[in-house]
């Protein structure tokens, strides 16, 4: 697919939706739905300045720290649990129990234990973002071809060598799927964690706008969240393409047949 065609696919639908929004709101006096031009002006006035440094950058930093920690812990624990059958059988009921607990419910508990600080907000992100990485890693490790594992043992490959050359590459596609889910969950929990007992951050600022009936400013914050999500997705796709180039190449060959 050519670069121009990719750009057309990427911007075509958003441009069409914005055009439709502009046409429907052309003669509208609805206070709760700003016009596109008004929203663009409000976006620039609100977020291009001190508020970007004071609210947006700290939020993105907490999101990055929490999601990265969730990915590292999820992969490490997932490889360990997925590799040892009796540990997997022992921990599976407990994992299902904790996975069913909605992370926002843990916010009051974490406030009591940790306090109202950045560490609490990072832990909220970790508490929800870790599960897709952990469970996908476990399933990816379980799905490694046992014949290949036995062959590696027969050739005398040590455990770390088998892990590096066989287990991790085989489980990498499922791990990547878990990381993709973790990124979106982490972004949601970043906002939720800043809505409780917070005095700064993107989520806090959006709530302040909502409570003060600053509707265009509130919508501009929602748009900014969407743009951050798009940027995170693009960065992830770029990294995934580089890390799993062999996997995507294999799929293209199979589809070509």
* Residue 20, in any domain of the structure: no
Q: Judge whether 80 lies within some domain.
A: yes
Domain presence at residue 9: no
Q: What share of the chain is helix, strand, coil (3-state, %, to 5)?
A: 85, 0, 15
Write out pLDDT tens, residues 31-42.
788 888 888 999
b/e string for 223-234 if b means 16 or more Cβ within 10 A? Answer: ebbeebeeebee
Q: Is residue 177 domain-resident?
A: yes
| Tokens describing residue 27 | 């003669």
Domain range for 67 = 51-247
pLDDT of residue 144: 85
Domain count, the chain: 1
Residue pair 107/193 in contact (Cβ under 8 Å)? The answer is: yes
User: Is residue 31, in this structure, part of any structural domain at all?
Assistant: no
153: domain CATH number is 1.10.3720.10
Note the pTM of the prediction, 2 decimals: 0.87
Sequence-distant (6+) residues with CB within 8 A of 143 are 170, 171, 174
The 10s digit of each residue's pLDDT in 161-182 is: 888 888 888 889 999 999 999 9
Residue 209 falls within a domain, yes or no? yes
pLDDT digits (tens, 9 = 90+) for 53-90: 999 999 999 999 999 999 999 999 999 998 888 888 88
- For residue 4, name the pLDDT band (cuts at 50, 70, 90): confident
**Which residue, among 200, 165, 211, has the nearest Cα to 52 in the 3D structure?**
200
Compute the distance between CA of residue 92 and CA of residue 212 in angstroms, rounded to an integer. 46
43 domain residue, yes or no: no
Residue with the bigger pLDDT between 197 and 152: it is 152
| Spatial separation of the C-alpha atoms in residues 98 and 96, rounded to whole Å | 6
Kindly state whether residue 138 falls inside one of the protein's structural domains: yes
């Amino acid at each position: 697919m050519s670069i121009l065609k990719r750009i057309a696919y990427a911007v075509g639908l958003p441009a069409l939706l914005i055009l439709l929004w502009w046409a429907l709101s052309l003669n509208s006096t609805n206070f709760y739905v700003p016009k596109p031009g008004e929203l663009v002006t409000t976006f620039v006035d609100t977020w291009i300045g001190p508020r970007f440094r004071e609210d947006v950058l700290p939020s993105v930093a907490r999101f990055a720290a929490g999601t990265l920690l969730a990915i590292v812990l999820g992969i490490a624990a997932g490889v360990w649990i997925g590799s040892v059958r009796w540990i997997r059988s022992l921990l599976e009921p407990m994992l299902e129990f904790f996975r069913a607990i909605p992370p926002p419910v843990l916010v009051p508990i974490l406030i009591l234990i940790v306090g109202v600080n950045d560490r609490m907000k990072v832990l909220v992100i970790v508490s929800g973002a870790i599960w897709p990485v952990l469970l996908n890693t476990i399933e990816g490790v379980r799905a490694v071809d046992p014949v290949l594992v036995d062959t590696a043992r027969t050739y005398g490959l040590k455990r770390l060598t088998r892990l590096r050359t066989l287990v991790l590459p085989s489980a990498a596609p499922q791990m990547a799927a878990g990381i993709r889910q973790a990124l979106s969950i982490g972004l949601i929990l970043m906002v939720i964690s800043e809505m409780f007992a917070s005095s700064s951050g993107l989520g806090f600022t959006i709530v302040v706008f909502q409570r003060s009936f600053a509707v265009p400013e509130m919508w501009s914050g929602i748009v900014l969240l969407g743009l951050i999500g798009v940027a995170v997705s693009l960065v992830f796709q770029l990294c995934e393409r580089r890390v799993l180039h062999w996997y995507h190449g294999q799929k293209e060959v199979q589809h070509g047949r």
